[in-house]
Amino acid sequence: MRVFKFGGASVKDAEAVRNVVKVLQEVGHKDTLVIISAMGKTTNAMEMVVKAYFEDKSALSGALQKVVDYHNTILSNLFNNTGHPVYEQIKLLFDEVKGFLAWNKSPKYGFVYDQIVGYGELLSSTIICNYLNEVGLSNTWLDVRTLIKTDSSYRDARVNWERTQQEVSRRVDMSKLNITQGFLGSDENNFTTTLGREGSDYSAAILAYCLNADSVTIWKDVPGVLNADPRNFDKAELLDQISYREAIELAFYGASVIHPKTLQPLQRKDIPLHVKSFLNPLGAGTTVGKGVDILPKIPCFIVKKNQVLLKLSSLDFSFIVENNISEIFKLFHDHRMKVDLIQNSAISFSVCLDNKFNGLQDMLNELKRKFKVVCHEDVSLYTIRHFDDKSVQSLQNGRAVLVEQRGRETIQLVVK
């Protein structure tokens, strides 16, 4: 069995959905599990619904209506018959969202977030399932929440691999074309959980691992894995083939094409990963597979924007040692701050953080009780794998470098 994953850009409107059909017709669709992300920017739109729910109830109806209108437009462009069952199916999904917003009593943001935002994938996969059937590609719709079982760490759930393996083995007919969702799972109480932003790639890897799949293909709007994001760097080049190890390194540092958690399950069972363009499905793309010597022959550039650089020093000029660092990292964990770079000296400690869960201010209040804190917000963290002098100079030119960390293969620069 093969596992395909189509991201938001590949299903953003009716024309994109038709292109998914074209891709499946060109590359084959038998014995295939297709994982669908939310359409276009639906996840962002659903996040605005959650924000309105907590901060401005008067804006809630309007925020949700935007999502309704967006999907209804796609429906009307795909299905001429307004009596088609898909219309009622989509209405029922939105009724579930409205019902949850009406009866929910939980004040926990993460829990509410997962119950609401996860509907983006349920909506998109329902539409695509029906459209594929309409054009003759018979398929089975699967609710991924019955397949991927997790703990209750909402917004960043951890997979229960044993339970997931049991459910996948029991529920997936590998001889059919199956349609399911990315990003989602469910906990032991069957509440929806999410695997972290951009987690649909990880979903593909989880299901491929449990199915002993022959391969995973991620369909993108780029020709494959590039040595730089073309939105941020000029003259990006295609990497034809790289090893699991190198892909994991690039993903760890923030390369946006592959989700950081995706590679480990695939590597454990030696399942190749293909990254290909849905605009050119027969193109070679990039293959990620076994082979320690498969390294890029050119520098690879990665940037993480909107980061936070903290510089901590002791109030009495004493050394920052193990017990201090342990205390600091406990605060990072408690406030769900992701650490991207560390640099320390005898009396100071610098760290670049991703404040994706907005825990910065509360954490700063606690840190300032014991340390002198200098905080630089809205910095960018640049990473170059397999750097040379020319590539480093291209980043340093005209930028204020706050921290530089250089290793044998990788250099990182925090710049303002």
Provide the annotated binding site for ATP. Answer: 231
| Paired strand residues for 311 | 350, 374
Q: How far apart are CA 278 and CA 381, in angstroms?
A: 30
- Rg from Cα positions in the chain: 23
- Residues marked as binding? 231
Q: Which helix (DSSP H) or strand (DSSP E) does residue 17 occupy?
A: helix 14-27
Across 114-136, b (16+ Cβ under 10 Å) vs e yields: bbbbbbbbbbbbbbbbbbbbeee
- State the amino acid at position 38 in one-letter form: A
Residues constituting the chain: 416
Residue 40 Ramachandran class (φ > 0 left, ψ -120 to 50 alpha, else beta):
left
- Taking alpha carbons only, the member of 233, 240, 155 closest to residue 196 is 155
- State the amino acid at position 15 in one-letter form: E
222 burial via Cβ count (<10 Å: 0-12, 13-18, 19+):
buried
Within its chain, how far is the Cα of 188 from the centroid? 23
